[in-house]
Structure 1
Amino acid sequence: MPEPITSRRLTPRGVATAALIGTAIEWYDFFVYATTAIIVFNQLFFPSDSPLTSMLLAFSTLGVGFLARPLGGVLFAHFGDRAGRKKTLVTSLILMGTATVLVGCLPTYDQIGATAAVALVALRFVQGLAVGGEYGGAVLLAVENAPQGKKVRYGSFPQFGSPVGILASAFVISMFQMLPEHDYLSWGWRIPFLLSIILLVVGLVVRAKIDESEEFTRTKESIAATASASRVPVVELLARHWKAVFLGVGITLTAHGAYVTVSFLPAYSTVAYDMPSSIVATTLIFASIGGIATLAAIVRTLDNKDRDRTIARGGLIFAVSTPLLFLATQQFGEIGLIVGVTAGYMAIMPYYASLSSALADLFPVEVKYTGISVCYQISSVLAGGLLPIALSAATRYVESWVPAAVAAATTGAVTLIAGTISKRTHPQSELPAAAPPKTTIEG
């Protein structure tokens, strides 16, 4: 792990903002790939006589990044729980930025054949490793530095990173899509990837100013004094806190199932309903603006809400709304797609904002990074990795949106069940200075 640059102490809000900025940069990189895969990579890296087959092959590569995320989560969390959150976050940012820039430099299928696709998938795997180590550390920076009674509010800051990253990537891509099609396919698509080098420098400067939280420092010193540090945090997590892991995976499934609506549905629409490729970026711009606005409107009220009930309600909303989004797109075309995806994304923002602090409170501090990362990334494999690959295969043969809608709705139903169980296990939600924090669930 690289040594951090000398830092100065930030306020809790400053730490949460720094976590947001770093997370937004990593999600920009992640979504630049996702969006470009749908509108460009199918032509340049996976050419086929069938446009649907090319699109599905390109979309299935998104699953590679999700499959790599648990490995990255465990790897970075291991060092994050033992050495500190800051070093791991700096490393993950460097890894993500480097992989993204290299994607922008890749030769295409016409230039080097199938090797181009292999290299593309390999770099997507590296992106998955990097983003796998990002979420847990960013959440902990915000939550562990939060004032008493404001963990949900401050823990929601990193959650802005996803819609901000979507917005930035979609906006940049849409700007270069204004080029003539030949120029865009020749070189224009590469620029959003190459711009990541600037964001990488900005992110490193911001994260250099962050110190470890007092909570982590005290716990680390106490563990060292008693010589009881877990050599392998993931082993302790699975041995002692496996029930919490099951709950954590369940409540996070909807966060990853949402990729079916924000990524798969727009891509599917360009082929199934002959919509222009620009509709993908347009839909993401509207959805991310709606998501950011919703988060900003509710962020100050989050600590007064029943967190588990909010999460369960989010799963229910997603389960019910997903089939309706696909149906609206089929019936009303581009307007149905944009309005449906935007409304659906906004509707689950309260769930999304409450998720990070709920995960953080499931585990003790000595395995907190590992616990959050394992839960978040296992669910990313199930709902974000295996799901796109399975949908690509199923849709190719069924030629219908029904498998995607049913699969996504199922993830919402699981979150509803997990949130309800969590509520019954820990009936008190964290309210300002009134209710005690959740106790840790142990096996």
Structure 2
Amino acid sequence: MASPTTPAPVTAGPSKKGIFAASFIGTSIEWYDYYIFGTAAALVFGSVFYPEFDPTAGTIAAFATFAVGFIARPLGAAVIGHFGDRIGRKSMLVLTLLLTGGSTFLIGVLPTYAAIGVGAPLLLVALRLIQGFGVGGEWGGAVLIATEHASPRRRAVYGSFAQFGVPVGVLTSNLAFLAVSGLSDEDFLAWGWRIPFLISIALVVVGFFVRSKLQDAPEFQEVKEKKQVVKVPVAELVKRQPRTLVLGSLASIAPPAVGYTVIVYMLTYGTTVVGFDRTTLLWLILASTAVWIGTIVVAALLSDRFGSKRVFAIGALTAVLWPLPMFALVNTGSAGAALFAFVVAAVVQGIMAGAQGGLFTEIFEVKTRYSGISIAYQLGGMIGGAVTPIVATALYGSYESSTPIAIYVAALSLVSLLAVLGIRPLPKAQQADADRLGTAAATAG
């Protein structure tokens, strides 16, 4: 064991390919699990689990069940972040994968309301809570396992590995539903919707194999060697960095606010209000995800060159400006116009996603970093992601116009823009320590 004044030796770490695989593959699987629930909530859960409601109320009930997962995410972030800061990043990443994948598979075998009555939606809510709890600790761990192995000049690029999982999750979840969308409505509602949930178990096995080969980064290992692990990381976080935690949480609102407006609410709005065919709309959203992924790469490279805070702020500004034109384009009923609307929305999300991993790693202290970035990300996700489809449905029900919805999303994005402008970096001494260990880890790897 190293002495209290001697840095822990840096052993050979995982390769860049190994880090990429562990961060990207595992996160993609977990977001696939999460997004197929959102797609099913928009397309089928209202009819299958809430058939006693009228169509609008059934949709709101389904979206409320979708939102329950977001409520569990901050709790998962706090609990899993606690043990991630005390025990290590690797073990928590394996746990989140098993929680999310197992609950997703069980949703695929749930009996419907017609079979067991009110027990069906209750079980659905319970499994959604477990799924959300697991996802709550996923993003933070996936980001840290990458960024803490990176040199200071590549931190945003490494942090983007986990961010690829979000659009890839959207891509694969939509492909899964497209594969069964050709079924008749009767077959789709009877059994077709279950297939995307059931096949997730095979993906979990792959993710488990990849993540079991990981090891924690030297930056965290040194904290353990110096016995600087804190007993209650969340309490230490609130005591030492309350301002950073609040601003980080507010900054995290805009990406899911824009994202869930497109990938969840638009499935309902586009089919029931504008009149798009379900399959057409899925393909349009699917096509935009390729641009989303490409933008993450570009934004991460620019973040390492010009600063993550600056790039994220540009993305938040575009998120303020785009909702009104986006709805106007979708309202034309033209597939080409809608595709353009979704592509630009993908660029908006990609800019913020490419910068977010690097930014959050730079602003939280290493001994409470898992808790800090997880809680901030999930609180923002709860406000921007859970509430937005419900509010959007209610606003359209009240005003029969998309304008209030667009203004609402733009207002949420403005909050994020102001918050990120107020974020301050860590003191230079702490940044220097992180840079030293990051460089050593990258060299060893």
User: What code does the residue aligned with 2:220 have?
Assistant: F
**Which aligned pairs between 1:80-159 and structure 2 lie closer than 5 A?**
80-159=84-163
Structure 2 residue aligned with 1:247 = 247
CA-CA distance at 1:399 after TM superposition: 2.8
8 A contact 2:295–2:347 mirrored in 1: yes
Q: 1:254-312, CA deviations, whole angstroms, 9 ceiling, x for partnerless residues?
A: 12212123321232121112322224422331121221233345544441123212111
Aligned to 1:416: 417
**The residue matched to 1:348 in structure 2 has which SS?**
helix
Moved more, 172-181 or 211-220: 172-181
**Structure-1 residue corresponding to 2:26:** 22
- Alignment map for 1:290-309 (pairs within 5 Å): 290-309=291-310
**TM-superposition CA deviations, 1:112-136 (whole Å, max 9, x none):** 1222111112211111101001011
Partner of 1:441: none
Deviation at residue 195 of structure 1 after TM alignment: 0.4
2:62 to 46, 51, 58: 58
**Structure-2 residue corresponding to 1:440:** none
| 2:9 counterpart residue number | none
TM-score normalized with structure 1 length: 0.89
Aligned to 2:337: 336
Moved more, 350-359 or 391-400: 391-400
Instruction: Give the structure 2 partner of residue 231 of structure 1.
Output: 231
Find the aligned partners of 2:68 and 2:435 in 1 and give their Cα distance. Answer: 44
Percent of residue pairs bearing the same amino acid type: 35
C-alpha separation in 1, matches of 2:380 and 2:297? 26
2:167 match: 163
* Distance in structure 1 (CA, Å) of the matches to 2:350 and 2:427: 22
Is the CA contact (8 Å cut-off) linking 1:78 and 1:234 kept in structure 2?
yes
- Residue in structure 2 matched with residue 287 of structure 1 by the alignment: 288
Give the direction of change, closer, same or farther, for the CA distance of 1:246–1:256 in structure 2 (3 Å limit): same
Give 2:182's aligned amino acid. Answer: M
Does residue 1:272 correspond to 2:276, yes or no? no
Residue 434 to residue 374, structure 1, CA distance change in 2 (3 Å): closer
Cα drift, residue 187 of structure 1: 1.2
Q: Report the more deviating stretch, 138-147 or 323-332.
A: 323-332
Deviation at 1:186, TM superposition (A): 1.4
In 1: Cα distance, 2:134 partner to 2:426 partner: 33
Q: Distance in 1 between matches of 2:79 and 2:159?
A: 22
Cα deviations by residue, 1:344-374 (Å, 9 ceiling, x for unpaired): 1123312211001101111111000000011
Q: 1:264 and 1:426 mapped to 2: Cα distance?
A: 41
Contact 1:62–1:388 under 8 Å retained in 2: no
In the alignment, structure 1 residue 196 sits paired with structure 2 residue 197: no
Q: Using a 3 Å threshold, how does the CA distance of structure 1 residues 172 and 188 change in structure 2: closer, same or farther?
A: same
2:363–2:425 Cα contact (<8 Å) kept: no
Number of aligned residues: 423
Structure 2 runs not aligned, ≥5 long: 1-11, 439-445
Deviations 1:218-272 (A, max 9, x none): 1111125xxxx32111011111100111221122111221212332123212111
Aligned counterpart in structure 2 of residue 75 of structure 1, from 54, 79, 83: 79
Q: Secondary structure at the match of 2:183?
A: coil
The 10-residue stretch of structure 1 (406-415 or 363-372) with the greater mean CA deviation from structure 2 = 406-415
Partner of 1:173: 177
On the 8 A contact 1:63/1:386 being kept in 2, the answer is yes
2:23 maps to amino acid: A
Deviates more, 1:370-379 or 1:267-276: 267-276
| Structure 1 pair 140–155 and aligned structure 2 pair: CA distance change class (3 A) | same
What one-letter code is carried by the residue in structure 1 that aligns with 2:396? T
Distance 1:190 1:218, change over 3 A: same
User: Bigger shift: 157-166 or 306-315?
Assistant: 306-315
CA contact (8 A) 2:298 2:354 kept: no
Aligned to 1:354: 355
Amino acid at match of 1:244: T
Whole-angstrom distance in 2 between the partners of 1:185 and 1:325 = 31
Query: Aligned-pair distance for 1:60?
Result: 2.5
Question: Which amino acid letter does the alignment assign opposite residue 191 of structure 2?
Answer: W
TM-score by length of 2: 0.89
Q: In structure 2, do the counterparts of structure 1 residues 92 and 425 end up closer, same or farther at CA, with 3 Å as the change threshold?
A: closer
> Is contact 2:151–2:435 with CA below 8 Å preserved after alignment?
no
Closer, same or farther: CA 20–375 of 1 in aligned 2, 3 Å: same
- Change beyond 3 A, Cα 1:214–1:423: closer
Question: Aligned AA for 2:254?
Answer: T
CA displacement at 1:410 relative to structure 2:
1.2
1:376-415 alignment, distance < 5 Å: 376-415=377-416
1:190-233 deviations in Å (ceiling 9; x for gaps): 11100011001000000011011111001111125xxxx32111
**Cα contact 2:295–2:354 (8 A) shared by 1:** no
- Asked whether the 8 Å contact 1:266–1:283 carries over to 2, the reply is no
Instruction: Provide the rounded CA distance (Å) in 1 between the counterparts of 2:102 and 2:281.
Output: 25
Are residues 49 and 245 of structure 1, via their aligned partners in 2, closer, same or farther at CA, if it must alter by over 3 Å? closer
1:331 partner SS:
coil
CA contact (8 A) 1:12 1:147 kept: no
Kindly indicate whether the alpha-carbon contact (under 8 Å) linking 2:89 and 2:145 is maintained by their aligned counterparts in 1.
Answer: yes
Change (3 A) 1:434 1:359: closer
CA RMSD of aligned residues (A): 2.5
Where 2:145 maps in the other structure, the secondary structure is: helix
Gaps of 5+ in 1: 1-7, 438-443
Alpha-carbon deviation of 1:9?
Answer: 4.7
The answer on whether the counterparts of 1:314 and 1:412 sit within 8 Å (CA) in structure 2 is no
1:159 aligned partner, one-letter code: Q
Matched residues in 1 for 2:317 and 2:299: separation?
19
Q: 1:237 to 1:107 in 2, by over 3 A?
A: same
Report the residue type matching 2:323 in the other structure.
T
